[in-house]
Amino acid sequence: MKYIQIGDMKASQVVMGVMRINDAGKDPVAAVKAAYAGGINFFDNADIYGQGECETIFGKAFRDAGIKREEIYIQSKVGIRPGIAFDFSKKHIIEATEGSLKRLGVDYLDSLLLHRPDTLVQPEEVAEAFDELEKSGKVRYFGVSNQNPYQIELLKTAVKQPLLMNQLQFGIMHTGMVDQGIHVNMTDTPHSIDFDGGLLPYSRIHKMTIQAWSPFQYGFFEGVFVGNEKFPKLNKKLQELAEKYQVTPTGIAVAWISSHPAEMQTVIGTITPSRITEVCDASDVELTREEWYEVYLAAGNILP
């Protein structure tokens, strides 16, 4: 497992996300045990996952797995009120965070992210909420999710704490963040469309860790591309690299993300222990430059 420095944290490059930890028929304790045994020390939650149920399940699972609170980093996210509003008000940020702490059964979060942009945001309110949460010891570090550079700059006009991470959809079949940087000013292809205001270079310049969510999905939760007959060329390439590096195609899908020099974390959502282990086993694989671009092209992308 590779580890990256985020604040004072030596955080695993692979993160276990718990959005699906309440899936029927899954064994949460076995999943958390497999993750920890594979070197994962960073766990991503959100107040809305399973309407709070996922935090409760994870909070119990890590204890039942025999893991001590201080041995892992626990992150959660607030700011979405499903079907009602996005809410970055001071009141909501504080109350939602306190709800997460209660469900998780912990005194503090290592990091708290603002989940999805609230267009009605008042940066001063976010700043007050963060100050209060930091002062009370309830949150150690702060970050955002699904936000573009100007939205982050807007928050920074009032927020004093460094914003250390931005959680974004990124993976072999969701490459907008790199496409536009490869196809700058090419007017004959949609690849040049700037969907995010230059997030990839912005994150590198400002030392914000990108946390890539849904790394195995294509579309917005349309399905998994690994082993999917809709993507024969890509799967042939993943298989070829898996054989070369003695890992699995699932592992290569994560190695493709961690081989990018931006030092991203990959937030995996599988709750199947053997798959978690496959990913951990491949986490040290460094694809070559040529292999990285071969996978990019096999996914159906083009180069100018």
Cβ proximity to ligand NAP: between 111 and 145 the closer is 145
Q: Say if residues 203 and 177 touch (Cβ distance below 8 Å).
A: no
Cβ proximity to ligand NAP: between 227 and 232 the closer is 227
Site string for ligand NAP, 226-265 (x = CB under 6 A): xx----------------------x---------------
Handedness of CA 179, 45, 17, 224 (dihedral sign): negative
Does 81 engage in binding with ligand NAP (CB under 6 A)? no
Structure tokens at 183: 């196809």
Catalytic residue among 49, 202, 218, 245: 49
Selected range binding ligand NAP among 56-64, 87-95, 101-109, 267-275, rule: CB under 6 A: 267-275
Q: Say if residues 257 and 295 touch (Cβ distance below 8 Å).
A: no
What backbone phi and psi angles, to 5 degrees, belong to 22?
-95, 10
Nearest position to ligand NAP, beta carbon: 269
Selected range binding ligand NAP among 132-140, 207-215, 283-291, 292-300, rule: CB under 6 A: 207-215
Q: Could you tell me the smallest distance in angstroms from the CB atom of residue 226 to ligand NAP? A: 4
Known active-site residue 115: yes
What backbone phi and psi angles, to 5 degrees, belong to 103?
-65, -40
Which amino acid is residue 107, in one-letter code? Answer: D
Does 61 engage in binding with ligand NAP (CB under 6 A)? no
What backbone phi and psi angles, to 5 degrees, belong to 65?
-80, -5
CA distance 103 to 173: 34
Cβ proximity to ligand NAP: between 239 and 272 the closer is 272
Site string for ligand NAP, 147-176 (x = CB under 6 A): --------------------x---------
Write the DSSP symbol of residue 285: -
CA distance 259 to 257: 5
| Closest to 211 (Cα-Cα) out of 18, 17, 58 | 17
Q: Name residue 77's beta-bridge partners.
A: 113
Catalytic residue among 36, 73, 92, 115: 115
Site string for ligand NAP, 22-51 (x = CB under 6 A): ----------------------x-------
Number of shown-chain residues binding ligand NAP (CB under 6 A):
24
Active site residues: 49, 115
